């Protein structure tokens, strides 16, 4: 990962304050008051508070937080669907906040696209015309845009439905149309604002699978908003946890599960089975002197759940080796403390 | 997946694709237009203004027969006359109280001072002190305009009609709210009453109830009962069923649930209905002047008929003042009820008990004074303000006719030669059978044989009425006015719908425009454009626009945020957003705006018969005035009804059809 060198998305000190005189709040002591107190005092709401992060090319960056924590506002600030109050947003080396309305429209038509929670499909247009909408307003000829629309329609598995109206489709299929529409202009970056929250759990799982598949096929950079931890862990290369407008922790799924930064994050991950996320790297410990170092060898990237049976049945410490290097050993104790919680007393 | 596809095919199959339907209409239009032009002048069924057909003479004979048998026919003696005399008694009672002298007195029981005091007290108690001041000032202005008695006549008639409307409308509305079957039964009747241009039921009602307060009240009821009934039904239905269920589960009877659960919750909506009923009644009471109802309307009619612009302004202003006072007072009262039932903090200070007693005492003293002393009974002064208003209006008209004549004539000519004449000449000069065939086919294409049959029946009746040519004149004026209204509605409606700021500024004006009695719109245009078709058309546009604008604006506003946001995010510019997203998504609202625009416009174009618009409206007016044209006037009324039904059914079908594609996703 070389995100420090050339990030696709780079956000520095981003703020969004709703209310009268929002600029006054930015950076002031007031900004750190609890929300209700600040609203009482100034009538303002800090929706995004001093947020900075980078996303590298081809990465799936997930932003997670409770409802009202500012996720939607944050993702809209990135494309200026919501005008930020302060801070910098760079997309592919271009200063988004300095872009003219005209330039912004060009970028929206060609470089990035968004998938919405409530789909936002045009009810009076058939699937094809919904998918082709962005190409149409960009002046593409009818035959060219229909051809492209059919490509993405089959990419998301909607063949045969291209002549239906949105109201004739199920929720899951409607969101496939939303996905196809976002893919149609072949953007570099895709934004998702809780795209699957309105769907039934089973359909949601299908759609998550679909996004993973698409990501493999089209390799877009993605910023994905969700309030669902399982979804975040499943899709995210890195996850940012948001609380009251600020990022409290940014890290890989393993980092979040293994070392939650505070109680808020710990609360999120508490009920999630750690063994499904953690790899052996996180639980390997230094061998104690005289320990048996002749046990089986496993790679540090193996997930605990997948290694559990082998380690429990090994009867002696399993070595975690990164190539030739010994990172540590794992025994039944470590496995059990991941699965059932640490020893007490 | 296979299953799902199957279902979708079932949904799609019976639908004609939109573009195909559009193409069919284009072909139909071209065929109609070319055959109309090729065959122009053939079979146009013209009829001179003074000529009568046998149907007209038969109708005249029928009306005379009704007149002759009035005193012997038991149905008339036992039913119609009973209704007539009780309504007359009721209205006379109110008139004796506030507007006219009785056998024993030359002045009403309560003079101006008493009336003003009562209005002030009632509005202060039920609405607010601020509105009460407005009401008192408004009523005093009525006196200063020199139209006190006429205003009181209008008020008395309006009050009588409102009381009866509510007595009938609320109970039936409750029934309609409780029993969907009953509602289904009466909905067509209500639709019919509301779609009909008010003008047309005047003559038939006088046929049965004679000229006088009873007829004026009954025509008003036809117009003002539907809103009272409909809103009551909605109010009852809005009450969450769970609350009724809870009440019944605790052992209350259905009647108790209605009284203690549904009615109290429905109250705030019903109060809004009272406001609409009052405004509808006032509007109709002024039009009832055409069948000799006393009051402000009569002054306007007389002034319009003699083209006395000054006088019509004077009375028009009085009607506007009356409308504003009644509307503001009832709106404020409704707001107060809503606040009281929603347990929010009251916005205005509460009137203390002692102030209430003081107000009551002052009012009683004022009533007493106005009963005993002439100065408090008859409004003092000679209505100098009214004379001044008339003079200003006259001189303004004179000035316009002197200096702006090129502008007004230019406008008249542009519209006449550019729009009205071509449309009118095509419609009037086309052979009746081509137009009839085109209309029936339109009905068929939109909704199959049923609508085609309705249209065919309407056309048959038009033909029997012998007034085909006049109907085409009216239709042309209606189409022109509707076209302008719809263009205006879409342009301004989009503007209002997209901007909260514009909305805040324009909406009160639109609201005010909607509550004005239709009549007064003729007045300023008469001053500008004289007695022409164009005056009627412009008045119709102004009358119909507020409704059209509001429908479009609400349609635009109700496009879900998620849809516009997605379109903006795809890079739409403002124009693309409006034309590709907002207007298409609001197409049902636009179709309804076209429907409403046409209905409103037809009503007003017909009233324009008073000021030289010609066509069917003129014939109705002539029928009021001349005994030998009575039958023809009745036939013209029937023809107007047929036009109204055709226009309404066809545009409704368009609205329903577009709805198929415009199901909003949530
Ligand atoms: N247009 C707005 N005006 C005022 N406050 C807003 C607006 N949009 C969002 N907020 C506030 O900003 C905060 C963050 O909202 P949002 O970004 O929608 O959160 P999330 O998507 O995480 O649920 C919330 O407290 C919300 O009330
Ligand atoms: Mg959100």
pLDDT digits (tens, 9 = 90+) for B580-625: 999 988 888 888 888 888 888 888 888 888 877 788 888 888 888 7
Confidence of residue B307 (pLDDT cuts 50, 70, 90): confident
The residue whose two tokens read 């009745």 is B634
Q: Measured from the CB, is residue A16 less than 6 Å from ligand 1?
A: no
Higher-pLDDT residue of A61, B656: A61
State mean pLDDT over B186-209.
Answer: 84
Q: A110: exposed, middle or buried (C-beta count within 10 Å: 0-12, 13-18, 19+)?
A: middle
Residue A218: closest CA among A119, A160, A152, A158: A152
Virtual CA dihedral for A206, A211, A215, A220, nearest 10 degrees?
Answer: 170
Domain ranges within chain B, ordered by starting residue: 2-38+404-665, 87-399
Residue B540: closest CA among B245, B272, B199, B189: B199
How confident is the model over B357-394, as pLDDT tens digits? 888 888 888 888 888 777 877 888 777 788 888 888 88
Cα separation, A15 vs A23, whole angstroms = 9
A·B CB contacts under 8 A: 97
CB-CB neighbours of B500 under 10 Å: 10
Distance A64 CA to ligand 1 centre (A): 15
Confidence of residue B128 (pLDDT cuts 50, 70, 90): confident
Distance A72 CA to ligand 2 centre (A): 4
Q: Which ligand is nearest to the CA of A63?
A: 1
Q: Measured from the CB, is residue A73 less than 6 Å from ligand 1?
A: yes
- The reply to whether residue B580 touches residue A124, judged by beta carbons under 8 angstroms, is no
- The reply to whether residue B573 touches residue A174, judged by beta carbons under 8 angstroms, is no
Q: Is A83 on the interface with B (CB under 8 A)?
A: no
The residue whose two tokens read 């006054």 is A24
- The reply to whether residue B580 touches residue A137, judged by beta carbons under 8 angstroms, is yes
Q: Measured from the CB, is residue A72 less than 6 Å from ligand 1?
A: yes
Which pLDDT score is estimated for B2?
A: 39
Higher-pLDDT residue of B659, B90: B90
Which pLDDT score is estimated for B19?
A: 63
How confident is the model over B543-552, as pLDDT tens digits? 999 989 998 9
Cα separation, B261 vs B453, whole angstroms = 46
CB within 8 A of A161, min separation 6: which ones? A127, A153, A169, A173, B5, B8
Contacts of A137 in chain B (CB under 8 A): 570-573, 576, 580
Work out the minimum CA distance from B28 to partner chain A, whole angstroms.
25
Q: Measured from the CB, is residue A335 less than 6 Å from ligand 1?
A: no
Counting ligand 1 atoms within 8 A of each CB, the residue from A47, A51, A242, A247 with the most, and so the one to mutate, is A47
A64 φ, ψ (degrees, to nearest 5): -125, 150
Using DSSP bridges, classify how beta strands A221-226 and A189-193 pair: parallel, antiparallel or unpaired. Answer: parallel
Instruction: Please give the helix or strand (H or E) that residue A113 lies within, else none.
Output: strand A112-115
Work out the minimum CA distance from A161 to partner chain B, whole angstroms.
8
Cα separation, A241 vs A263, whole angstroms = 12
Q: By three-state DSSP, how is residue A48 classified?
A: strand
CB within 8 A of B51, min separation 6: which ones? none
Higher-pLDDT residue of A249, B58: A249
How confident is the model over B341-363, as pLDDT tens digits? 665 555 555 567 788 888 888 88
Cα separation, B202 vs B198, whole angstroms = 8
**What DSSP string describes A16-28?**
EEESSSHHHHTTS
- The sheet carrying A94-95 orders its strands as A45-55, A9-18, A86-91, A94-95
Residue A50: closest CA among A75, A79, A74: A74
Write down the H helix ranges in B250-291: 254-257, 263-287
CB within 8 A of B471, min separation 6: which ones? B462, B465, B615, B616, B639, B642, B643
- The sheet carrying A318-322 orders its strands as A297-298, A318-322, A325-330
Mutation target to probe the A interface, by most A beta carbons within 10 A, among B3, B569, B591 is B569
Which pLDDT score is estimated for B351?
A: 60
Confidence of residue B36 (pLDDT cuts 50, 70, 90): confident
Residue B129: closest CA among B349, B278, B354, B367: B349
Matching CATH topology for B2-38+404-665 and B87-399? yes
Q: Which ligand is nearest to the CA of A193?
A: 2
Q: What is the CATH number of domain B2-38+404-665?
A: 1.10.3720.10
Using DSSP bridges, classify how beta strands A9-18 and A112-115 pair: parallel, antiparallel or unpaired. Answer: unpaired
- The reply to whether residue B566 touches residue A120, judged by beta carbons under 8 angstroms, is yes
Which pLDDT score is estimated for A124?
A: 83
Cα separation, B138 vs B629, whole angstroms = 41
State mean pLDDT over B37-59.
Answer: 81
Residue A318: closest CA among A280, A290, A282: A280
> Could you state, in chain order, the average pLDDT of each consecutive group of 10 residues for chain A (345 residues)?
67 94 87 87 91 94 93 94 94 93 91 90 89 91 94 91 90 92 92 91 89 89 93 93 93 89 86 82 85 85 86 86 87 84 59
Q: Which ligand is nearest to the CA of A70?
A: 1
Work out the minimum CA distance from B12 to partner chain A, whole angstroms.
8
Cα separation, A88 vs A51, whole angstroms = 10
Q: What angle is formed at CA B261 by the lines to CA B259 and CA B265, rounded to 5 degrees?
A: 105
Q: What percent of chain B has pLDDT over 90?
A: 28
Q: Which residues of B369-380 are buried (b: 16+ CB within 10 A; e: fewer)?
A: bbbeeeebbbbe
Which fold would CATH assign to domain B87-399? MetI-like fold (1.10.3720)
Mutation target to probe the B interface, by most B beta carbons within 10 A, among A165, A169, A177, A191 is A165
Ion ligand 2: residues, CB within 5 A, are A 72
Residue B463: closest CA among B495, B491, B440: B440
Which pLDDT score is estimated for B155?
A: 94
What is the chain B residue with the closest CA to A109?
Answer: B571
Asked whether B125 and B361 are in contact (CB, 8 A), the reply is no
User: Can you give the pTM of this predicted structure?
Assistant: 0.80
Distance A269 CA to ligand 2 centre (A): 20
Q: How far is CA B458 from CA B199, B431, B647, in A?
A: 19, 17, 10
Work out the minimum CA distance from B577 to partner chain A, whole angstroms.
10
Asked whether A36 and A104 are in contact (CB, 8 A), the reply is no
Interface predicted TM-score (ipTM) of this complex, two decimals: 0.81
Angle, in degrees to the nearest 10, between helices B533-557 and B587-607: 160
Which pLDDT score is estimated for B101?
A: 78
| Greatest mean pLDDT among A310-314, B252-256, B266-270, B573-577 | B573-577
* Minimal Cβ distance to B570: which of A119, A137, A167: A137
Residue-level length of chain B:
666
Which pLDDT score is estimated for A5?
A: 54
Which pLDDT score is estimated for A76?
A: 94
What is the chain B residue with the closest CA to A121?
Answer: B563
How confident is the model over B68-127, as pLDDT tens digits? 887 787 877 788 888 888 998 999 888 888 888 777 777 888 888 889 999 999 998 888
Residue A138: closest CA among A92, A76, A79, A184: A184
- First-to-last C-alpha distance (Å) of chain A: 42
Work out the minimum CA distance from A173 to partner chain B, whole angstroms.
11
- The sheet carrying A189-193 orders its strands as A112-115, A189-193, A221-226, A60-65, A238-243, A246-251
Q: Which ligand 1 atom lies nearest to the CA of residue A48?
A: 14
Q: Measured from the CB, is residue A67 less than 6 Å from ligand 1?
A: yes
State mean pLDDT over B626-635.
Answer: 86
CB within 8 A of B560, min separation 6: which ones? A118, A120, B664, B665, B666
Q: Measured from the CB, is residue A65 less than 6 Å from ligand 1?
A: yes
Cα separation, A14 vs A12, whole angstroms = 6
Residue A233: closest CA among A244, A224, A243: A224
Asked whether A116 and A169 are in contact (CB, 8 A), the reply is no
> What residues does B190 pair with on adjacent strands?
none
A11 φ, ψ (degrees, to nearest 5): -120, 130
CB within 8 A of B35, min separation 6: which ones? B430, B431, B434
| Phi-psi sector, B51: left (phi>0), alpha (psi -120 to 50), beta | beta
Distance A193 CA to ligand 2 centre (A): 7
Dihedral over Cα of B603, B608, B609, B613: its sign: negative
């Amino acid at each position: 990962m070389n995100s420090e060198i050339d990030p696709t998305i780079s956000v520095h000190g981003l703020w969004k304050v709703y209310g009268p005189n929002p600029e006054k709040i930015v950076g002031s002591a007031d900004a750190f008051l609890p929300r209700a107190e600040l609203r009482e005092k100034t009538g303002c709401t800090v929706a995004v508070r001093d947020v900075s992060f980078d996303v590298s090319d081809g990465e799936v960056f997930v932003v997670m937080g409770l409802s009202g924590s500012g996720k939607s506002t944050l993702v809209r600030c990135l494309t200026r669907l919501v005008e930020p109050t302060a801070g910098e947003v760079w997309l592919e080396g271009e200063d988004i906040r300095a872009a003219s309305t005209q330039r912004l429209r060009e970028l929206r038509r060609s470089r990035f696209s968004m998938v919405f929670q409530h789909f936002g499909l045009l009810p009076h247009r058939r699937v094809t015309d919904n998918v082709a909408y962005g190409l149409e307003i960009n002046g593409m000829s009818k035959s060219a845009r229909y051809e492209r629309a059919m490509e993405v329609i089959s990419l998301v598995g909607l063949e045969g439905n291209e002549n239906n109206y949105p109201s004739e489709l199920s929720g899951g299929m409607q969101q496939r149309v939303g996905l196809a529409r976002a893919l149609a202009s072949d953007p570099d970056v895709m934004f998702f604002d809780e795209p699957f929250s309105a769907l039934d759990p089973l359909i949601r799982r299908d759609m998550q699978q679909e996004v993973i598949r698409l990501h493999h096929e089209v390799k877009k950079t993605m910023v994905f908003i969700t309030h669902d931890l399982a979804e975040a862990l499943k899709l995210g290369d890195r996850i940012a946890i948001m609380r009251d407008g600020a990022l409290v922790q940014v890290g890989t799924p393993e980092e979040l599960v293994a070392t939650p930064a505070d109680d808020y994050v710990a609360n999120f991950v508490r009920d999630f089975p750690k063994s499904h996320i953690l790899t052996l790297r996180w639980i390997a410990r230094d061998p104690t002197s005289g320990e048996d170092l002749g046990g089986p060898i496993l790679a540090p990237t193996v997930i605990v759940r997948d290694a559990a049976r082998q380690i429990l049945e090994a009867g002696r410490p399993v070595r975690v080796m990164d190539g030739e290097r010994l990172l540590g050993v794992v025994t039944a104790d470590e496995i059990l403390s991941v699965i059932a919680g640490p020893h007490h007393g | 997946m296979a299953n799902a596809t199957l279902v979708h095919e079932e949904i799609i199959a019976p639908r004609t694709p939109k573009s195909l339907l559009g193409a069919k209409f284009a072909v139909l239009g071209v065929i109609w237009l070319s055959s109309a032009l090729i065959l122009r002048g053939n079979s146009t069924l013209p009829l001179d203004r003074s000529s009568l057909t046998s149907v007209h003479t038969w109708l005249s004979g029928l009306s005379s027969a009704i007149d002759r048998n009035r005193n012997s026919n038991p149905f008339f003696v036992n039913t119609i006359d009973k209704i007539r005399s009780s309504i007359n008694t009721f209205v006379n009672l109110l008139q004796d109280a506030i507007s006219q002298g009785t056998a024993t007195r030359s002045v009403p029981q309560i003079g101006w001072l008493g009336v003003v005091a009562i209005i002030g007290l009632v509005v202060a108690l039920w609405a607010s002190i601020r509105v009460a001041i407005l009401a008192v000032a408004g009523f005093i202005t009525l006196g200063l305009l020199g139209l006190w008695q006429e205003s009181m006549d209008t008020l008395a008639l309006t009050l009588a009609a409102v009381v009866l409307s509510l007595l009938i409308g609320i109970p039936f509305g409750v029934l309609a709210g409780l029993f969907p079957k009953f509602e289904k039964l009466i909905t067509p009747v209500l639709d019919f009453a509301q779609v009909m241009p008010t003008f047309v039921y005047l003559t038939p009602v006088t046929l049965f109830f004679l000229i006088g307060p009873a007829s004026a009240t009954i025509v008003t009821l036809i117009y003002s009962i539907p809103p009272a009934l409909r809103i009551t039904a909605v109010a009852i239905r809005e009450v969450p069923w769970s609350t009724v269920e809870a009440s019944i589960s605790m052992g209350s009877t259905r009647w108790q649930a209605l009284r203690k659960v549904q009615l109290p919750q429905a109250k705030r909506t019903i109060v809004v209905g009272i406001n609409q009923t009052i405004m509808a009644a006032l509007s109709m009471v002024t039009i009832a002047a055409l069948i000799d109802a006393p009051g402000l309307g009569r002054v306007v009619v007389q002034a319009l008929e003699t083209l006395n612009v000054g006088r019509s302004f004077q009375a028009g202003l009085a009607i506007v003042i009356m409308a504003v006072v009644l509307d503001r007072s009832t709106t404020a009262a409704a707001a107060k009820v809503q606040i009281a039932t929603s347990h929010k903090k009251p916005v205005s200070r509460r009137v203390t008990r002692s102030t209430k007693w003081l107000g009551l005492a002052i009012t009683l003293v004022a009533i007493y004074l106005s009963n005993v002393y002439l100065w408090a009974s008859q409004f003092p002064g000679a209505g100098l303000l009214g004379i001044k208003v008339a003079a200003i209006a006259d001189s303004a008209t004179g000035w316009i006719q002197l200096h702006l004549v090129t502008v007004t004539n230019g406008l008249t000519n542009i519209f006449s030669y550019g729009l009205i004449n071509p449309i009118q000449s095509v419609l009037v000069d086309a052979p009746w059978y081509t137009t009839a065939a085109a209309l029936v086919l339109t009905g068929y294409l939109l909704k199959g044989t049923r609508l085609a049959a309705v249209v065919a029946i309407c056309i048959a009746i038009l033909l029997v009425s012998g007034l085909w040519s006049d109907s085409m004149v009216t239709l042309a004026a209606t189409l022109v006015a509707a076209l302008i209204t719809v263009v205006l509605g879409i342009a301004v409606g989009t503007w209002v719908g997209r901007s909260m700021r514009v909305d805040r500024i324009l909406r009160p004006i639109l609201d005010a425009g909607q509550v004005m009695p239709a009549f007064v719109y003729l007045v300023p245009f008469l001053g500008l454009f004289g007695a022409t078709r164009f005056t009627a058309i412009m008045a119709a546009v102004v009358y119909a626009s507020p409704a059209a604008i509001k429908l479009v604006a609400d349609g635009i506003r109700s496009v879900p945020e998620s849809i516009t946001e997605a379109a903006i995010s795809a890079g739409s510019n403002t124009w693309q957003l409006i034309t590709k997203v907002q207007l298409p998504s609001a197409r049902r609202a636009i179709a309804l705006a076209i429907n409403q625009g046409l209905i409103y416009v037809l009503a007003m174009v017909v009233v324009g018969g008073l000021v030289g618009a010609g066509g069917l409206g003129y014939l109705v007016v002539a029928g009021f005035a001349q005994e030998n044209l009575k039958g023809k006037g009745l036939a013209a009324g029937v023809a107007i009804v047929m036009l109204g039904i055709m226009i309404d059914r066809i545009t409704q079908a368009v609205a329903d059809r577009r709805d198929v594609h415009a199901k909003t996703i949530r």
